[in-house]
Amino acid sequence: MRDNNGVFISGTGSYAPSKTLTNCDLARMVDTSDQWIINRTGIRERRIAGTEEKTSTMGSLASAAAIKAAGIHKDDIDLVLVATLTPDMFFPSTACLVQTQLGLRQVTSFDVGAACSGFIFALEIASNMMKNGNFRHALVIGSEKLSSILDWEDRKTCVLFGDGAGAVVLSSQDRLGYEVIDSYTASDGSQPKLLHMPGGGSACPATPESLGQGRHFLKMQGQKVFKVAVRFMEQSVRKMLDRHGLIPEDIDLFIPHQANLRIIEALARSIKAPKEKFFVNLDRWGNTSAASIPIALDEASRKNRLQSGDYVLLVAFGAGLTWGSTLLKWKY
Ligand code: ACO
């Protein structure tokens, strides 16, 4: 076991499918409009994976970019976690598929299911596994093909989501990048129907009837989800700030889950932080669930707007319900 207990994000990467679906494209498919979607969500377009693109292949491409950015060899990776609610299949895990697609050694690989908060949960699990000294470099991936579980006739949901992947290399050595300072995660399973996919699991296996009833599509009670999203994201921010004796002014960049611009603005108002401090890219991506934070982190890193010592706070909310935050400190 090693003495150094620090864990660092030493490289980031992301992958966007080439097909773009605009709000105007959607207006030709369902009864909606570009203006309604922009006003109610802030989303202008999203990426849609092709039939050959899977959650695993998108995750692998994002990971290859993160490995390159970290300046390590793929054989240095000894742990793979994939956060997703759209795995390629129930089993084997998408992480195992990524492991073989990247040609990695026979390393520990498994999936984490916490919906849109999945990346925060996976980061916490991987960080703690690394702190015991048994792992040196982990891939933590958020990858989603949400287009595969959307009802393309339901305007209340199909306009909100998109596909894509983001990944980070987590390293146990003191390296350039983000130091993972702390994580907070929590869940409340008492209202599963706020946001769920009823069919396909052991409770409701696939049958011709379940297919006909549309039970294999994502279902959401949007307004209720909106309210709890703001409440639990605020709680996640406050919890992390209180733990470290920080105030919102001390945070240089907030990277929130990219579900809806109005949720992000409500969060900024509730913690009294300027909205300019909140990274936003949902206008180009829509909600990519577990992939949204690692994609945003990759874009923020590549914009070079951070200075050594800056605090970055990741904050997410998702089905489950699940929520949480991760405090990072930028070093270079
Ligand atoms: N185009 C046009 N009209 C629409 C559309 C659409 N795409 N969707 C709904 N409407 C209509 C509704 O039918 C309704 O019409 P009515 O008043 O005649 O019945 C009207 O617009 C208002 O609908 P609301 O649902 O009240 O609209 P709201 O302002 O709440 O916005 C939205 C809906 C965008 C879904 C919002 O509630 C939201 O963002 N909720 C949170 C969603 C979220 O963040 N989910 C992700 C969670 S993370 C995870 O784990 C996946």
Task: Please state the three-class secondary structure of 9-62 as a single string.
Answer: EEEEEEECCCEEEEHHHHHCCCCCCHHHHHHHHCCCEEEECCCCCCHHHHHHHH
Quick one: CA dihedral 233, 22, 53, 202, positive or negative? positive
Compute the radius of gyration of the chain from its Cα atoms: 19
Helix then strand then coil, % of the chain, to nearest 5 = 40, 25, 35
Catalytic residue among 116, 137, 158, 260: 116
Mean pLDDT of 26-37: 98
Residue 202 has a pLDDT of 95
CATH of domain 181-330: 3.40.47.10
- DSSP letter (8 states) at residue 281: -
In the annotation, is 287 catalytic? Answer: yes
**Burial readout 273-282 (b: 16 or more C-beta within 10 A, e: otherwise):** beeeebbbbb
CA of 291 to the centre of ligand 1 (A): 21
Mean pLDDT of 197-208: 96
Q: Please give the full DSSP string across 121-183, using - where no structure is assigned.
A: HHHHHHHHHHHTTS-SEEEEEEEEEGGGG--TT-HHHHTTB-EEEEEEEEESS--SEEEEEEE
In the annotation, is 116 catalytic? Answer: yes
In the annotation, is 304 catalytic? Answer: no
Estimate the crossing angle of helix 222-243 against helix 261-270, to 10 degrees. Answer: 40
CA of 2 to the centre of ligand 1 (A): 50
Dist. CA 299–CA 280, nearest whole Å: 10
Please provide the average confidence, as pLDDT, over all residues in the chain: 95
pTM: 0.95
Residue 3 has a pLDDT of 42
Segments making up each domain of the chain, as ranges:
8-176, 181-330
Dist. CA 148–CA 74, nearest whole Å: 30
CA of 155 to the centre of ligand 1 (A): 8
β 45-48/219-220 pair status: unpaired
Residue 1 has a pLDDT of 35
Residues 6 or more apart whose Cβ sits within 8 Å of residue 153: 30
Dist. CA 112–CA 81, nearest whole Å: 7
pLDDT tens-place string over residues 85-141? 999 999 999 999 999 999 999 999 999 999 999 999 999 999 999 988 899 999 999
CATH of domain 8-176: 3.40.47.10
Dist. CA 280–CA 258, nearest whole Å: 7
